[in-house]
Structure 1
Amino acid sequence: MTKNALSVIAASIALAMSGQSMAAKVPAGTQLAAKQELVRNIGAEVESLDISQIESVPANHVARDLFEGLTAIDSSGKIVPGVAESWTRKDPLTWVFKLRKNARWSNGEPVTANDFVFSWQRTVDPKTASKYTIFLDFIANGSAILAGKKPVTALGIKALDAGTVEVKTAVPTPFLPDLLSNPTMAPLNKGAYLKGGKDFTKPGKLVSNGGYVLKEWVPNSRIVLEKNPNYWNASTTVITRVTFDPTESEDATFKMFKAGQLDWTDRAPSGSYAKLSKEMPKDYRVGLTIALYYMGINNTDPVMKDIRVRKALSMVIDRDVLTGKVLGEGQRPAYGLFVKGMEGAKVSAYDWSAWPMQKRIDEAKKLLAAAGYGPNRPLKFKYMYNTTDLHKKIAVFAIGEWKNKLGVQATMENQEFKVFLKTRHDGAYQVARNGWNADYNDASTFLDLLRCNSPQNDQKYCSKKVDALINQGYASNDLAKRSAVLTEAGRLAMEDYPLIPLFQYTSPRLVKSWVGGYFTSNAFERFRTSDLYIIKH
């Protein structure tokens, strides 16, 4: 075992034994409001509240309040104990988690190790048809089970007793505590699930173990949660009620915020940085996030399967103009798969990113000409995006770049978010808006966008050579070697131009100054209401 690997084990054990717990940390002397209620916009309707089916950022926001895994993440972005009060890494592939004795379901039943076993086995079962299974690929036998080659009982999770969970990973996974903080890896109450049937996620039937319980769900209108009195940390949970609003329009949510109907918007109106930072300095919050905004390309499409077309389209988009003038919210131009702040690999960029734009245009024209396109036969395709002002603004800019610099005739089509998700998954598109918020801080979360047969690979891209490098990196217990191999895997994949990276996200949003516990330093954008509080105002 290498020195690097040993240091990671020591650090993970030290964190687990530190006794940290997540809860609202109200500074001494802070006067709290009598009414502890929060109204938060999440930017879209959730696709589900079944933790085996959620995949979108909005659904994860809600699920994070309803369910708690073995670990959790606090408002500053740090991994802290969740249902597990401590854990140890016995060897590179074996972890043991000790559960809290006072962890309870919302119906009062104790949360046990078997609840985690049941939940993970259900998610990995091919019959469940889970849409988001990348976490389970890291658990021993997870990939084989998903492929139907092994039974769900072969999954690397075992209840050593009611209060102890043993996890076996498929490869050395030093970031496992981070990975396990995601709602998909939370437990599920088997009795409530069986009793509720297909309606088990509805109000009055959903049994949860997080800080809140589901009280109301009106599709495309609101989701209302109330404080869970049986949550193990209920005594320090301050906010008693949270309402999630799914309004997609940035302009509409801005008006709602100003009218006092929202305490928190998913996004501030794009391009409003200068204006809002001056007019609403206490409410306007911006932080860099470990997330990539990109254009997905359907690599199996008759037009887009030509690498020369894909490369040409990527080369001529001026990321500096897009981020600096069109958006202007601190976004960082991106020319690769990985972003700043991510661990497990190094950020790289295309060589041509440093070229003068005219040289890039000239090269792109040559590529299109070689692919058979030009003035007499212009390249034509459709660009698809989900309905928000930001995505429309980016779409208009990109189509203008392609038309003015290359004569490309691209059209736009927008769809409601849930429909758009299915369109991408089904591969029923040519080029489409996409984005990736890191689920945990490691390069593997981004590489899943390009692995063969990955559920997150809407690009339908596949390279056996890239996959071999990824597998080699995952198998290494030497962190430096692992990083070098995964860096090369990302570089090699992007040389095939399977997607068009545009920029690293920031999180420009409006949050009322009286919402305590909100930190722009949280680069993962994962906030739980149990960490927040409302200041007297």
Structure 2
Amino acid sequence: MRRWSDLVFDNPGPFDSIVDLSTPHRTTRSRPQSTPSVEVTNTRSFQMFFAPRPSSIRLCRASAALALGGVMLAGAVQAAVVPPGVQLAAKQELVRNNGTEVETLDPNVAESVPANTVARDLFEGLTATRSDGETVPGVAEKWEMKDPTTWVFHLRKNAKWSNGEPVVAADFVYGSQRLVDPKTASPYATTYGMFLLNGTDIVAGKKPVASLGVSALDPYTVEIKTPYPVPFLPDLMSNTNFGPVNKAGVDKYGHDWTKPGKLISNGAFMLKDWQVNNRLVLAKNPQYWNAANVQLNQVTYLPVEDENTDVDLYKSGGDDWVNQLPSGTFARYKQEYPNEMRAAPMLGLRYYSFNNKDPLLKDVRVRQALSMVIDRDILAQRVTADGQIPAYGVIVKGVKGADVSAYDWASWPMAKRVDEAKKLLAEAGVKPGTKLQFVTNTSEYHKKMAIFAASEWKTKLGLDTEIQAMEFKVLLKKRHDGDYQIARNGWVADYNDASTFLTLVQCGSEQNDNQACNPKADALMRQASNSTDPATRQTLQTEAAKVAMEDYPMLPLLQYTLVRLVKSYVGGYSTKNPMDHYRSEDMYIIKH
């Protein structure tokens, strides 16, 4: 297992004050499917949006190597840890905004951050992620690595489904097989299937589902075989996409098995109510093996995309947890709510997807030109203004297994970058006045970023951009269908290894929305996967990232920093969580 040890900042600056915020710590409305398009051709007024350059981050991590045959034993009971002397409120209910409506509650199919956030409350995998980012025992109370490609997980015998039935090894076998089964059409089938023996071939329809390297040695022992060494497998298993699924419930209800009254879950909570575009309510699961240490009785998720509406709800008492502050408001709300500001860097990348098959964007010179002229420093300092770091590659700072790299031109003066970009467009036959089509979701945060990008392309290259905002679920489908030219995108690590980011540029990956493929980069990724030497693996993955990005399949923008407001009476929230994986079972409401 690996544990986040500390966060060290190389240069003093505005961002330090964000991360040092360590103070202890209803109404909704429906939204239209989309909003009218906005064509950006005159950007002079956009300059009024602008008003600290973030310091660089070094994320240090201590790791403990698990020797072959060694056993990882369960530590103390995991769940909400209430400090001595803290009095709990009589009403243990949490209301938090989840940023958008979830696309599904099926853990095998869940793709977005909001959907997986809810899935972590409803389902528990072999392992879990605590609020401080540490991987801890889940349904498995201990595990061991038999050899570099064989792991054995021992299940706790008191784990139960919400209907009272025991959670057994066969439930994990079924869940894993269902994940890679082509019939399920999981967006994560290839992304996660590659870590399981025969997974990739099963997804491609070349081998039967039963050949997957996940088996039940007995009712309470799961064996997992991998096609190559996966040293971070316990971390990986905390993702509920790998978790157990109740086969009887799926067989009985079919596609309706995730609806209230039908969903059978094994996590700390169970589904109580789900009103699409209104609220999703979870109730404490009395059958959960650690229910005695779960403090919250109810959790309500709101699907509010508009950040200003979210903050208004927070101010009026409509929710206890803002999903993300509106861009440019950090300084104001830090002063207004100093004890409720929560901010921390994340292993995440904000980027724009280029449709590499589009008639205009299939020319790499056009993609390079569009990337070169975006001033990421201004974007970070004056548009988002919340401590994010400019990004020029697919690998972000703090990720293990690869080095951060950037384009050579990243250090050029902007005037030189613009001149080169103009030459590239001229060589590609693209003239000023050419129109670009950009799709994003209805979030004001993302629309403001899109308007900034459009202004850069207009003022520096003479290109016009039509921005179309739509509901997040619609944006997801457009990206996967390749029904776009340029699209807003983002990725938060599922585990701390470079391979989670390389999947964004990997040939054939469901998470590669760019419709791009670089065979040389893919070959390097495969070599890295088969290497048992950490240094060699890191070198190969670093080179793979550089080779892939030389094709400009995507436009990296910023490394995430999540800035939100959380009521001071919400206990259990930690800013040492680089992947933003929070379980409600770790939370509690303090008397106030």
Q: TM-score under structure 2 normalisation?
A: 0.88
Separation in structure 1 between the aligned mates of residue 249 and residue 466 of structure 2, nearest angstrom: 48
Q: Judge which range, 407-416 or 483-492, deviates more.
A: 407-416
Identity of aligned residues (%): 57
State the Cα deviation string for residues 137-182 of structure 1 (Å, max 9, x = none): 1100000000000000000001000010000011110111111101
Letter in 2 for 1:78: E
Letter in 2 for 1:90: K
Give ranges in structure 1 of 5+ residues lacking alignment: 1-5
Contact (CA 8 Å) 1:383, 1:432: kept in 2 or not? Answer: yes
Cα deviation for residue 12 of structure 1 reads: 10
Letter in 2 for 1:391: H
Where does residue 55 of structure 2 map in the other structure? none
Contact (CA 8 Å) 1:437, 1:524: kept in 2 or not? Answer: yes
- For the pair 1:244 / 2:301, whether they are aligned, the reply is yes
Cα deviation for residue 379 of structure 1 reads: 3.0
What are the residue-to-residue correspondences of 1:145-160 with 2, within 5 Å? Answer: 145-160=202-217
Give 3-state SS (helix, strand or coil) of 2:283's partner: strand
- For the pair 1:429 / 2:484, whether they are aligned, the reply is yes
RMSD: 1.3
Give 3-state SS (helix, strand or coil) of 1:28's partner: coil
Contact (CA 8 Å) 1:21, 1:82: kept in 2 or not? Answer: no
Contact (CA 8 Å) 1:68, 1:83: kept in 2 or not? Answer: yes
Separation in structure 1 between the aligned mates of residue 411 and residue 211 of structure 2, nearest angstrom: 50
Letter in 1 for 2:391: A
Across the two proteins, how many residue pairs are aligned to each other? 529
Where does residue 52 of structure 2 map in the other structure? none
State the Cα deviation string for residues 109-147 of structure 1 (Å, max 9, x = none): 110000000111112111111122211211000000000
Where does residue 39 of structure 2 map in the other structure? none
Where does residue 143 of structure 1 map in the other structure? 200
Separation in structure 2 between the aligned mates of residue 514 and residue 529 of structure 1, nearest angstrom: 14
Separation in structure 1 between the aligned mates of residue 198 and residue 391 of structure 2, nearest angstrom: 35
Separation in structure 2 between the aligned mates of residue 12 and residue 43 of structure 1, nearest angstrom: 43
Contact (CA 8 Å) 1:452, 1:462: kept in 2 or not? Answer: yes
Choose which of 245, 252, 266 in structure 2 pairs with 1:195: 252
Where does residue 519 of structure 1 map in the other structure? 574
State the Cα deviation string for residues 75-100 of structure 1 (Å, max 9, x = none): 00000000000000111100000000
Separation in structure 1 between the aligned mates of residue 381 and residue 115 of structure 2, nearest angstrom: 31
Cα deviation for residue 57 of structure 1 reads: 0.6
Give 3-state SS (helix, strand or coil) of 1:304's partner: coil
Give ranges in structure 2 of 5+ residues lacking alignment: 1-62
Where does residue 83 of structure 2 map in the other structure? 27
Where does residue 591 of structure 2 map in the other structure? 536
- For the pair 1:444 / 2:514, whether they are aligned, the reply is no
- For the pair 1:310 / 2:371, whether they are aligned, the reply is no
Separation in structure 1 between the aligned mates of residue 116 and residue 64 of structure 2, nearest angstrom: 31
- For the pair 1:386 / 2:441, whether they are aligned, the reply is yes
Letter in 2 for 1:277: K
- For the pair 1:215 / 2:239, whether they are aligned, the reply is no
Contact (CA 8 Å) 1:283, 1:511: kept in 2 or not? Answer: yes
Separation in structure 1 between the aligned mates of residue 78 and residue 442 of structure 2, nearest angstrom: 35
Give 3-state SS (helix, strand or coil) of 1:440's partner: coil
Cα deviation for residue 18 of structure 1 reads: 4.9
Cα deviation for residue 11 of structure 1 reads: 9.8
Separation in structure 2 between the aligned mates of residue 77 and residue 478 of structure 1, nearest angstrom: 26
Q: TM-score under structure 1 normalisation?
A: 0.97
Where does residue 94 of structure 1 map in the other structure? 150
Choose which of 326, 332, 337 in structure 1 pairs with 2:383: 326
- For the pair 1:360 / 2:417, whether they are aligned, the reply is yes
Separation in structure 1 between the aligned mates of residue 554 and residue 70 of structure 2, nearest angstrom: 38
Contact (CA 8 Å) 2:101, 2:277: kept in 1 or not? Answer: yes
Cα deviation for residue 398 of structure 1 reads: 0.4
State the Cα deviation string for residues 230-282 of structure 1 (Å, max 9, x = none): 10110100011000000111010100000001000111121111101111011
Cα deviation for residue 192 of structure 1 reads: 1.6
- For the pair 1:108 / 2:181, whether they are aligned, the reply is no
- For the pair 1:132 / 2:188, whether they are aligned, the reply is yes
Where does residue 453 of structure 2 map in the other structure? 398
Separation in structure 1 between the aligned mates of residue 580 and residue 218 of structure 2, nearest angstrom: 34
State the Cα deviation string for residues 418-463 of structure 1 (Å, max 9, x = none): 1110000000001110000111111111111111111001101111
Cα deviation for residue 193 of structure 1 reads: 1.6
Separation in structure 2 between the aligned mates of residue 11 and residue 403 of structure 1, nearest angstrom: 58
Cα deviation for residue 20 of structure 1 reads: 4.2
Give 3-state SS (helix, strand or coil) of 1:126's partner: coil
Separation in structure 1 between the aligned mates of residue 237 and residue 274 of structure 2, nearest angstrom: 27
Contact (CA 8 Å) 2:148, 2:230: kept in 1 or not? Answer: yes
Separation in structure 2 between the aligned mates of residue 463 and residue 327 of structure 1, nearest angstrom: 32
Contact (CA 8 Å) 2:69, 2:146: kept in 1 or not? Answer: no
Cα deviation for residue 499 of structure 1 reads: 0.3
- For the pair 1:184 / 2:245, whether they are aligned, the reply is no
Where does residue 354 of structure 2 map in the other structure? 297
Cα deviation for residue 21 of structure 1 reads: 4.0
Separation in structure 2 between the aligned mates of residue 33 and residue 11 of structure 1, nearest angstrom: 46
Q: Judge which range, 188-197 or 428-437, deviates more.
A: 188-197
Cα deviation for residue 10 of structure 1 reads: 3.0
Choose which of 77, 82, 85 in structure 1 pairs with 2:138: 82
Give 3-state SS (helix, strand or coil) of 1:414's partner: strand
Give 3-state SS (helix, strand or coil) of 1:200's partner: helix
Cα deviation for residue 361 of structure 1 reads: 0.6
Where does residue 3 of structure 1 map in the other structure? none
Contact (CA 8 Å) 1:21, 1:81: kept in 2 or not? Answer: no
Separation in structure 1 between the aligned mates of residue 194 and residue 315 of structure 2, nearest angstrom: 44
Choose which of 229, 235, 245 in structure 1 pairs with 2:286: 229
Separation in structure 2 between the aligned mates of residue 22 and residue 12 of structure 1, nearest angstrom: 25
Cα deviation for residue 54 of structure 1 reads: 0.9
Choose which of 335, 343, 346 in structure 2 pairs with 1:278: 335
Q: Does the C-alpha gap of structure 1 residues 11 and 432 become closer, same or farther in structure 2, counting only changes over 3 Å?
A: farther
Separation in structure 2 between the aligned mates of residue 325 and residue 12 of structure 1, nearest angstrom: 52
